[in-house]
Structure 1
Amino acid sequence: MGTDFQQARETLGVRLRELRLSAPGGRLTGTDLAQRLGWPHSKIYKLENGRQTATTEDLRAWAAGVGQPEAFAELDARLKGFESHIRSWRRQLAAGHRPVQDSWNLEVGRSRAIYAWEEAVVPGLLQTADYARHMFLRYADLQGSVRDTDAAVRARMKRQEWLYEGGHRFHALVWEAALHALICPPAVLAGQLDRLAGLIGMDTVELGIIPLSASLKIPTANGFWILDDRLVITEDWHAELWLNDADSVATYLRVWNTLRESAVYGADAHNVINRARRALNLP
């Protein structure tokens, strides 16, 4: 993921450098352009070398600064091209977590079968409101984003209506480690575990747990979601990646099926959840 993102930034940077060197009034040095735009010289260097992701405003200023305002449309199209697949958290969270949840709600609403793998947290479609609230607060602190926690929680809870509509099927795989992770207070985690236990046997939910003791054919790497056979959504600390090409979807489905071989279901999954619940030493 980082490689694709970096290559896209570097390609855009090469084009920015070309425009600077071909300015109608004569080639501009990085210092010249920085002075024109009122930017630190380091920003010119970072953008041209793919060390920083440009904003739409940066690209508009650059095109005007090099005397080629007509180039803005091309530059902005390049940016939107890779940002449609690689969605930086900085941009996505500029207005808070609620808009991100709304985007997810639209895609989930279009889906009939969803396959999810989470190695560190309980999947959003199965979260309690209290658990979700603590997740949003943690990420808001990390990213320094707007704290629209209540609105984000409501949007996530609304998405769960999908589970109660006919013709839908949620195939969830969770690593046992996620059942012990105290990303929230113990009492909140206990409530979350109770909800998971109650979902086992629901006709629209297939919940598999991979025990810590299970033999694994591949590492339990980053979490991801497959929506029907058309879209994969996965994330890293800097961005969320949306992939809709057939090869990528097939690869992630193969990973999901491989992980599934290590999972337990039904009564066995219930036992793993209960073990995590007892470890909290709560009533």
Structure 2
Amino acid sequence: MSTDYQHAREALGVRLRELRLSAAGGRLTGPRLAGRLGWPHSKVYKLEGGRQTAVADDLRAWAVAVGHPDVTDELLARLKGFESHIRSWRRQLAAGHRPVQDTWNLAVARARTIHVFEESVVPGMLQTADYARAIFLRYADLYGTTRDTEAAVRSRMERQSWLYQGGRRLHTLVWEAALHALVCPPAVLVAQLDRLAGTIGMDTVELGVIPFGASLRVPAANGFWILDEQLVIAEDWHAELWLEDTETVASYLRVWETLRHSAVYGAEAQSVIGRARRGLSLRA
């Protein structure tokens, strides 16, 4: 969790405590407020201490319970401010790529279902080590960051163990452009396409490929990940966005469901991948 995000959560907790101590009719103890709300008293202290993220209904209930319903809009505005969480690449990559990968590993480990769309790169969960290495080196050059490439590759490969755990499901959509983009040497991309094709038929992976000639109901814009239909992670050139508010997550799910209608699966996906691989073989 980034420092900015945690500071915002702690600041909200301080404000909640202020409201409890200045409750209409006199200050409330944590257990007494919890009783009014029908919560375990530990939840009150976790919210006040910034150790748990409130949801909108928590804040509405809190404002009413302390006799200050007029502060509801203020509390919701504070929540909105850190639900859309911007992690700048400059700050994140100051210590290299490995810490970013480790943060991803923690988020993915908690998820049971993941929806992914990538428009120009093979998703990290399905990358080979050589392909991942090439990607990290490209970004290290772009941002001038610490070259901890091998440590970052190891961390990304460790994350793929998720694919071999029961009860998990990775729903992946890849635009055909990702099968042709030479972000790595051609021989590395050939091996990557073999790896991608090999995931078709795995019980934990649903791979859809959107061919160039497919009719698109929406443009194939930036890639994004949806974890357990509760968290969206999207990337832009300046930052990585971690988005948790319900409406935003629902919007990304609608985009994913819209794009999936343009994808092919199974043998048809194998055919698209095979065509791209043959093109690379002829090129070599």
Distance 1:229 1:198 in 2: 27
In structure 1, the partner of 2:94 is 94
- Paired residues for 1:269-280 under 5 Å: 269-280=269-280
In structure 1, the partner of 2:56 is none
Q: How many residues align?
A: 204
Q: How far is 1:281 from its partner?
A: 2.0
Matched, 1:265 2:265: yes
1:188-245 Cα distance to aligned partner (Å, 9 max, x none): 0000000011110000000000000000000000000000021000010000000001
Distance 1:160 1:105 in 2: 9
AA matched with 1:139? Y
Q: TM-score, normalised by structure 2?
A: 0.70
Contact 2:230 2:249 in 1 (8 A): yes
1:29-55 Cα distance to aligned partner (Å, 9 max, x none): xxxxxxxxxxxxxxxxxxxxxxxxxxx
AA matched with 1:101? Q
- Paired residues for 1:1-283 under 5 Å: 85-281=85-281
Q: How far is 1:83 from its partner?
A: 10
1:140-159 Cα distance to aligned partner (Å, 9 max, x none): 00010000000000000000
Identity %, equivalent residues: 75
1:147–1:84 distance in 2 versus 1, CA, 3 Å: farther
Q: TM-score, normalised by structure 1?
A: 0.70
Distance 1:248 1:84 in 2: 9
1:253–1:238 distance in 2 versus 1, CA, 3 Å: same
User: Please, which runs of 5 or more residues in structure 2 have no aligned partner?
Assistant: 1-77
AA matched with 1:225? W
Computed over aligned residues only, the root mean square deviation of the Cα atoms, in angstroms, reads 1.4
Contact 2:114 2:228 in 1 (8 A): yes
Q: How far is 1:84 from its partner?
A: 7.4
Which portions of structure 1, spanning 4 or more consecutive aligned residues, are displaced by more than 6 angstroms?
Answer: none
Distance 2:186 2:171 in 1: 26
AA matched with 2:85? H
Distance 1:266 1:209 in 2: 9
Contact 2:84 2:243 in 1 (8 A): no
User: Please, which runs of 5 or more residues in structure 1 have no aligned partner?
Assistant: 1-77
